[in-house]
Amino acid sequence: MNARERFLEVMNFNTDVRSLKWEFGYWGETINNWYEQGLPKKFYPKIPKKITTPTSTLYTYAWSDKCRGRDRLPNGFPVMAGGLYWPTQGFALDTDVRRHFKMDYTQMVVDVNLLWEPMFEPVFLNEDDEQMTYIDIDGVERMYLKGEATIPTSMKWPIRDKKSWEKLKEERLDIKDITKRFPDNWQELVDEYRNRDYPLALGGYPYGFFGTLSHLIGYENTFVWYALEPELIHDILETFTNVWMAVFEEVLSYVQVDHWQIWEDISFGKGPMISPQMVRTFMNPYIRRIVDFLKARGVNIVLLDTDGDCNSIIPVLMEAGVTGMYPFEAHCGMDVAKVRKQYPKLQMLGGLPKADIALGKQRIDEILEPVSDVLKSGGYIPFGDHFIPPDVNFENFSYYRQKLNSIIDEAAKQ
C-alpha cells in the first residue's frame, strides 16, 4: 500500500490500515545538530531557488543564496517531513530522517497560483549586517533577520484600505484566463500528479478565510476591519473564494486530488483570535461553498491548519464542512485523546508535544501512552505538534520515533 492509498484509508477511519509515519517538520538547526550527532548525511536538504508560485515559493527570495550568504541550512529554516504538505514557502524537503527511520513519503500540494496574477516582482529595498528588507511576490514588505534566519517578518501589507483593494482586485484577480496561474512546468507536474503514489492537496499556505486576510492586511487591521469594514472583509473573501473555485475547477480538469488544505493559524496559546460567532459570520459561508463544490467533484477530505488552542472553534468549523484539523499543539491545551472523545469522526494529525521529546525516555513513554487508543479509533496520524526544536537531540528523537513507529505498526493489520 503506497502513501496515497494509506492516507485515504486512514482518513476514512479504516483501522485495519496502519497510520502514516510522518512528522510535521524540523528546524534547520535541528537537522544540522542531528547530522553531527549521528544521522547519516546522504541527501542534505536543498533550499529551492526558483520562484514559481506563491503556493510553493513564497519567501524563496529571502532564503536564496544571495540573501542568506551561507552554505548550511539557516537555524530557523523549516524542513518538511510529511505532516505538512510540500512544496510550501520555499522550504526544503527531508530525505535522510525519513529513510533512516523508514517513514512514509510526504503529502504534496498542487503548485498553482491562488493569489495575485500577475505576482509582484520581488524588490530589494535595503540591507545591513543584521537584516534585509524587501517586497515579496505577494506584495508584502518583509524584514529578514540574518542572525535568527527564520521566516521573514511582515512589515507592510498590500491591502491598506478599500481603494488599494479595489485596485488590486481589478489588476491582479481577473479569472478570465486561469492558465496564467499555472507554473511553466505545469504539464510536467500534471504527468507526475497523475502517476503519483502520495496524497495530493489543493490550497495550502497562505490560503484561508482568516489566514489570507491576516496575511495580506495584517492582524491588527483585520481585527479593526471586522468591526468597522465588514462589507470590505466580505468582498475580499467573496473575491478570493471565486478565484479559488475557478482555479480548483481547472486543476480538477487535469487531475484528481485527495484533499483540500485550509491555512488559518487562527488560534494562539489561550484560544482563537476571533469568536466562534465571527467564525460563523466571516469564514463558514465561504468554506461551505468550496466544500460543497469539491464534494460534488469527489474531494471529501478537508483539513484545516491552525496552531494554538482551537478547542472552542472545532465544532463551528465542522459545521462548515471541515473534516480534520492539525497540528493540535499540546502545550496550548490541545489533547487528541479528549478531542477524539468529543468528536469521534474528526480527522486528526499531530498532537504529540514536540518539546517534551527533549526530556528523555521516561517522558517520551508518557507522551506516547495515549497514541495506541487514539489510533484504534481511526482517522489519526500521530506526530510532533509542530517543527521539532533543536534542543531535541538525535538520541532522544531516535527513541521517540522508533517507539512511535512500533506503536503505529502494532495498532493495525496492514
Whether the Cβ atoms of residue 74 and residue 149 lie closer than 8 Å to each other: yes
Among candidates 204, 299, 303, which has minimal Cα distance to 258? 299
Whether pLDDT at 329 is above 90: yes
Q: How far is CA 154 from its chain centroid?
A: 18
The whole-angstrom separation of Cα 390 and Cα 394 is: 10
Report yes or no: 30 and 389 within 8 Å, Cβ to Cβ. yes
CA dihedral 47, 49, 53, 54 (to 10 degrees): 60
Number of domains in the chain: 1
pLDDT tens track for 2-60: 999 999 999 999 999 999 999 999 999 999 999 999 999 999 998 888 999 999 999 99
Q: Which residues is 145 bridged to in the sheet?
A: 131
pLDDT tens digits, 167-196: 999 999 999 999 999 999 999 999 999 999
pLDDT tens digits, one per residue of 355-372: 999 999 999 999 999 999
pLDDT tens, position by position, 190-213: 999 999 999 999 999 999 999 999
pLDDT of amino acid 336: 97
Beta bridge partners of 86: 108
In terms of residue numbers, what domain contains 21? Answer: 3-410
Q: 141 pairs with which residues across the strands? A: 135, 156
Would you say 337 and 360 are in contact if contact means Cβ atoms under 8 Å apart?
Answer: no
Beta strands in 318-383 (DSSP E): 324-327, 347-349, 380-381
* Cα distance between residue 128 and residue 305, in whole Å: 35
Provide the CATH number for the domain around residue 374.
Answer: 3.20.20.210
- The Cα-based distances of 412 to 12, 14, 349, 402, 404 in angstroms read 14, 9, 17, 16, 13
pTM of the model: 0.96
3-state secondary structure 69-132: CCCCCCCCCEEECECCCECCCCCEECCHHHHHCCCCCCCEECCCCCCCCCCCCCEEEEECCCEE
**Beta carbons of 348 and 328 less than 8 angstroms apart:** yes
